A and B are shown apart, each in its own frame.
Chain A
Amino acid sequence: MNRAAPLVEFAFWLGVAVTAITLLMLAVTLIMRRVALRRDRIYLEAVARWRPILVAEPGGIATGLPTLSARDRSGFIRVWNDVHESLGGGTTDHLATLARKVGLEPQLYSALQSTSFHDRVMAVIALGHVHSAVSFTHLAGLLDDKSPIMSLCTARALMQVDAQRATPLLVARIVERSDWSQGSIAAILQEAGSARVSGPLTEATLKADGELASRLIRLLAGASPDAAAPIIRAWLLAASDEHVVSTCLQVMSNPADLDGVRPLLAHPRWHVRMLAAATLGRLGLPGDDQRLIAMLSDSQWWVRYRAAGGLLQLSFVGTERLRQIQQTQSDPYARDIITHVLAEQAIGSTA
């Protein structure tokens, strides 16, 4: 056993080390929990102290304000942000007065330097609600933060502070940042208003192609359908990029552009045919019903489904006419899909 002795000794001391590490991890876990509980308690106390003050009616907050201590900062900022979000677009003048009285702005600038990601993001959101022109420079530096959460919150705050100045910066980042969620950008642009954003956005969309063009067309169509219409028309007529064409089909809203849509019913990619059929169903004119009837025998289920659904959507077709169309179909797939959409209509269910 002599040869095994060093191994046994090593195993023993390794076991001792492992036990010590285990106990250390347990101790650290318990300490972390105590710290977290204390932090939560302080936070909740601050929230309880400041919430009634911030939600008070305008005029009711002018006197007897407690001092905003560093200890209360996180809780205050949370309440500050919550109250603004709950007000929507409502008046916040009384909150601005309160912010000045408690000296919120300098506190927010120091929160921007915090090592805590949470505190920094909350400070950015709060600065957006403060609307102080001075904060623009502080915030602009965070627009290129690698975290999409931080940079998007900064983008929104900048637009709230000075939309005129922020829009070109924002549009440039939309082009660069594929990690920004489309819904969030759309909401920021919508908040700023179409008049402010449509110019720079149109300019960027005209220069874009491929996936970027799809993203920008969606945003532009959401912010300003009128500005998007000529761009959509041009892409539909060119039909050079099926992804962009698909986007255009989804967002287009002008029946005058249907001439660019109809040829797409013969597109080799089924998802383009499907979207073209759906678009004709949404915006179609008399005569388009015949085109959709032809699509009822498409090889792809989704194309047939959207064609049948589209026929039902056309105001000049209706249920009875669709039943008649079904009778005239020799293709069983076409008949089945009409049965399907009629049954869906009867129970109020559509995909």
Chain B
Amino acid sequence: MSAFWAQLFLMLEWAFFAYFLCINAAYLALHYVSVFSILDYMRDHRTDYLPRDLPAYQPPISILIAAFNEERSINSTIHSLLQLDYPEFEVLIVNDGSTDAPLSILIAAFNEERSINSTIHSLLQLDYPEFEVLIVNDGSTDATLSSVIGEFSMVEFPEAYRQRIGTEKVRGIYASTRYPNVRMVDKVNGGKADALNAGINCVRYPLVCSIDADCILHPASLGRVVRPFLEDSNTVASGGVVRVLNGCTVKDGFLEKVELPRQVLPMFQNVEYLRAFLFGRMGWSPSNALLVISGAFGVFRKERVVAIGGYRTDTVGEDMDLVVRLHRRAREGRRPYRITFVPDPICWTEVPSDLKSLMGQRMRWQRGLAESLIPNVGLLFSRRGGAVGWLAFPFMLLFELLGPIVEIVGYIAMIILWWFHVIPLQVFLVFLFLAVGMGIMLSTNAIFLEELSFQMYPRVGQQLRLFLAAVFENIGYRQLIAFWRVIGMFKWLFSGNARSHWGEIARDGSWQHPNGAGAGDTRKGGGS
């Protein structure tokens, strides 16, 4: 190898090293910002100190379920919604010139016939006073529509439908004759974003909660995720943390037992969810710089969503894009606003347990990230950008969007350097030791923070298993994820934005059946 190339690769090695230190330091900083926020949050919100007869005011809520081929799961999902437990609606809060009204839950679903029933079951157990559930059947090709109609005694309803956001044709609206707060929109297939937009056109309440059809919620989830709207009238969006459902036991829509996944891939994702999606995101919330609210569970002020034209249908990252545009619009308009992250373990979802589904999911997420960040690049270092424009956006761009490329190039550069004897094996191993070591430290730190806060895995054996997963996910798994993300980036670069669609994820759904009877199933996957 010529001296020029050797020098170039050596510089790359330095750059890779510096970048690695920066990204790990940034994540570590985020973790520690988040832990203070979480401890404060735990102190004031997690424990039911206030006696039973002192329920906090919680505004009514609408639940929207967008479904595509949900024949097998949708009924149990709706049943669980109908069990929602919430103190009675007391008063309407008037603020910001509009009336703070009940809340609607949207469940975006596409071919969710196996798990949507459990989702609706869990929603029906939620602790909330007044809500509506809106299921959007996004042109399902299975028996989702007839299944829900039959299960919930639905009749076609002459809804005075207002199309405030353009969507594919709505074929009909149904209302349950047994559950007054359950309705269904049947529409021509148009993708997840289109289904959510149709739901937003149809919901009645000012707060809209969007959840994935395969989610299991905690009974108190709505109350907790709505709380930021009550504490700060400028709140426009609030997101909940998504936890890994694999390994847990769900019975009649309830999360009966929290357990660690038994399979390796979900176990790695469990550690990853703790590290990146809980403590990583919570760190941005105190500075109002949260850029991602998972499509799996988030509450939005409907009028603000309508004002920005609803979800974009030409992206696979419609959930992140919506939040980025909410930030941008509010900052450009100099409107006070707040976007909050609720760290409680309130939403549980099944993660992919096979490589193919995981690959598809991560490529889609990376593509969605690019599709959300690049069109809104005006937010970056903008005069009114605040913490989101000056910290979170550059962080996402530098570490989340470009990070996988740097990581993969760094590994390849080091292998080439070693191969051509530019660096000795010892140096290669030292850098590998550091890179993997830092990854393990971040993951172990997330486990430590989990013990400090939510303690969802209280047994010593569970903690040791988590630690083992934290070690081994950094050897191979993390690099594989980075590689898939690079492919996702290239797909976006060379084929442009993708239309919002329902991702395919193979799931076993065995958590629905304590005896593990669930057979393989391919259904849509949630957002990032």
Contact = CB atoms under 8 A, between A and B. Distances in A.
Contacts of B180: 347-350
Interface in A147-180: 147-149, 152-153, 156, 179
Given A183-B55, A351-B102, A4 B452 contact: no
Interface stretch (A106-114, A200-208, A331-339): A331-339
A128 B44 CA distance: 20
Interface string A13-28: 0110011011001101
A79 to B, nearest CB: 14
B230 A181 contact: yes
B441 interface: yes
Given A11-B431, A183-B87, 5 more contacts: A18-B434, A32-B452, A181-B230, A182-B57, A250-B91
A301 B302 CA distance: 15
A180 B91 CA distance: 15
Nearest to A340: B160
B52 A11 contact: no
A25 B49 contact: no
Contacts of A81: 51
B430 interface: yes
A29 B204 contact: no
B175 interface: yes
A135 interface: no
Nearest to B443: A22
Contacts of B447: 25-26, 29
Interface stretch (B110-118, B455-463, B477-485): B455-463
A122 B440 CA distance: 39
Contacts of A226: none
Interface stretch (A67-75, A185-193, A259-267, A282-290): A185-193
A162 B91 CA distance: 28
A247 interface: yes
Nearest to A122: B49
Nearest to B428: A8
A60 to B, nearest CB: 25
A182 B426 CA distance: 65
A154 to B, nearest CB: 11
A30 B463 contact: yes
Given A8-B427, A18-B441, A25-B441, A187 B55 contact: yes
Interface in A122-140: 122, 125
Contact of A153 (B17, B49, B52, B53): B49
A304 B160 CA distance: 10
B36 interface: no
B160 A15 contact: no
A28 B450 CA distance: 12
Nearest to A348: B180
B205 interface: yes
Contacts of A238: none
Interface of B: 10, 13-14, 17, 43-44, 47, 49-58, 87, 90-95, 97-99, 102, 132, 155, 157-160, 162, 175-177, 180-181, 204-205, 230-231, 423-424, 426-427, 430-431, 433-434, 437-438, 440-441, 444-445, 447-448, 451-452, 455, 458, 460, 463-464, 467
A305 interface: yes
11 contacts: A1-B427, A4-B13, A21-B441, A26-B444, A33-B463, A88-B53, A181-B230, A191-B53, A339-B160, A343-B157, A349-B176
Contacts of A117: 43
Contacts of B56: 181-184
A243 B44 CA distance: 29
Contacts of A19: 437, 440-441
A11 B17 contact: yes
Contacts of B438: 18
Contact of A275 (B10, B99, B455): B99
A118 B460 contact: no
A243 B158 contact: no
B4 to A, nearest CB: 16
A33 B460 contact: yes
Given A22-B444, A214-B94, A251-B91, A7 B17 contact: yes
Interface in A30-52: 30, 32-34, 36-37
B424 A33 contact: no
A224 interface: no
Given A191-B53, A305-B160, A246 B99 contact: yes
Residue of A88, A179, A187 contacting most chain B CB atoms (<10 Å): A187
B431 A152 contact: no
A156 to B, nearest CB: 7
A26 B440 CA distance: 11
A211 B464 CA distance: 52
Given A1-B423, A218-B91, A340 B158 contact: yes
Nearest to B233: A211
A144 interface: no
B50 A12 contact: no
A125 B14 CA distance: 59
A337 B90 CA distance: 26
A12 B430 contact: yes
A339 B157 CA distance: 9
